[in-house]
Chains A and B, each alone.
Chain A
Amino acid sequence: MLKKLCLAGSILFCFSVIFPNCQPNPYREGERLYKTHCANCHMEDGAGLHALIPPLAGSDYLKNHRQKLPCLVRYGIKDTIVVNGQVFAEQMPGVATLSEIQIVNILNFVNTSWGNQIEPFRLEETRTLLEKCRH
């Protein structure tokens, strides 16, 4: 029995080494939440829409304004911002019902999808940032 398990395990391991791309994004919950709350506007591929909705894929805003992201998701944003050199003066509604951990998951999904490589958020950090913008 144990032998069989070992064998199955090592086969699985081999596969995951050979086909790393088949592994789903580790932020499964984040992905699901993204599809529900964000993809209508920012699109499944994170590309946004022309001058109306900024991209998340390859967005330099994610890096440059990391501290603002948790509040942005919860409370939205209505500002003039620059994303990859393009100006946006639009508005985005927040999703007030998301819990802290859900915000962490969404942001980490965004930060590691479509080639984005941004350091993951942790719950503690997110909580502190959210404290600052509590309305």
Chain B
Amino acid sequence: MKYFAFIVLIITTWAACLTSPEKRTLPILGERDISPGGDTIYRSVPDFSFIDQDSQLVTNATFADKIYVVDFFFIHCPTICPRVKKNGLRLYEKYKNDGRVMLLSHSIDVRNDTVAALHRHAAKLGVDAKKWRLVTGDHDAIYSIADDYFSVAVEDPDSPGGFDHSGRLILVDKNRHVRSFCDGTNAEEVDRFMKDIDLLLEEQFPR
């Protein structure tokens, strides 16, 4: 009898595991507050407004009901940018025909990376502006939004190229929350990041 109860216990736990498998969900990253009512308030990406390679306005509305991947770069970057771009192109290729995913690259060199320069750069990368926005805009606005995406984009005269910035790729969900990031120079980390993107798509666009 004792054994019977034991076996029943095992079978029920096993069945429970089968019916509701432990699903990994991405956390919401960044600072959070507790409202007076006791709810957790997550920090979200603030309002922004930039100009892309085709002179189009890019705002939060551009990414309404989409998830998107953010990075910071500049065209004449002697260090990590080409690597990040190469991995960005992998994302571009994978989600080229998936309207739910977009890419957003901010230039942190507002002086040199004009709209025309960004346009040429995009053409050389062979990417479509509908999918991958390369944007410029107000210097301070770009640097402060970088802080918000918790990327490091502080002007550092000692770093090669005059700018120090991280090669991070940052994943933002359709509620403006940062959900994942990776080192965009590292192909294996980007593999893992792509799995996170798929996970987020499942979560936010249930069939």
Contacts and interface: CB of A to CB of B under 8 A. Distances in A.
A91 B89 CA distance: 21
A93 interface: yes
B51 to A, nearest CB: 21
Contact of B124 (A43, A50, A93): A50
Nearest to B86: A49
Interface in A1-51: 40-41, 43, 49-51
Chain A at the B interface: SS class: mixed
B78 interface: yes
A41 B160 CA distance: 14
B126 A43 contact: no
A53 interface: yes
Contacts of B83: 40, 43
A51 B85 CA distance: 12
Chain B at the A interface: SS class: helix
A40 B126 CA distance: 20
B82 A53 contact: yes
Contacts of A49: 82, 85-86, 125
Given A50-B125, A51-B124, A52-B124, A40 B86 contact: no
A43 B76 contact: no
B78 A93 contact: yes
A52 B123 CA distance: 10
B76 A50 contact: no
Given A49-B85, A49-B86, A40 B79 contact: yes
B9 interface: no
A125 B134 CA distance: 44
With a 10 A CB-CB cut-off, give which of B79, B80, B81, B86 has the most chain A CB atoms: B86
B86 A43 contact: yes
6 contacts: A43-B82, A43-B83, A49-B86, A51-B124, A52-B121, A93-B160
A41 B82 contact: yes
Contacts of A93: 78, 160
A50 B88 CA distance: 13
Contacts of B78: 40-41, 93
Interface in B68-125: 76, 78-83, 85-86, 89, 121, 123-125
Nearest to A49: B82
A49 B73 CA distance: 15
A41 B126 CA distance: 17
Nearest to A39: B83
Interface string B130-166: 0000000000000000000000000000001000000
Contacts of B126: 50-51
B106 to A, nearest CB: 18
